[in-house]
Amino acid sequence: MTGALPNADKISTDGTDTLSRREAQCLKLLASGKIPKQICSILGLSQSAVRLYLSRSRRKICCATLYQAVARAAILGLLS
List Cβ<8 Å contacts ≥24 apart for 69-74: 69/27, 70/27, 70/30, 70/31, 73/27, 73/28, 73/31, 74/31
Query: pLDDT tens digit string along 45-66?
Result: 999 999 999 999 999 999 999 9
d(CA 78, CA 80): 6
Q: Of 45, 70, 15, whose CA–CA distance to 79 is shortest?
A: 70
The residue segments making up the domain with residue 54 are: 21-75
Any domain includes 66: yes
Place 23 in a pLDDT band, splitting at 50, 70 and 90: very high
Any domain includes 25: yes
Q: Please give the tally of structural domains in the chain.
A: 1
Residues whose CB is less than 8 angstroms from the CB of residue 65 and which lie 6 or more positions away in sequence, other chains included: 58
Any domain includes 46: yes
- pTM value > 0.85: no
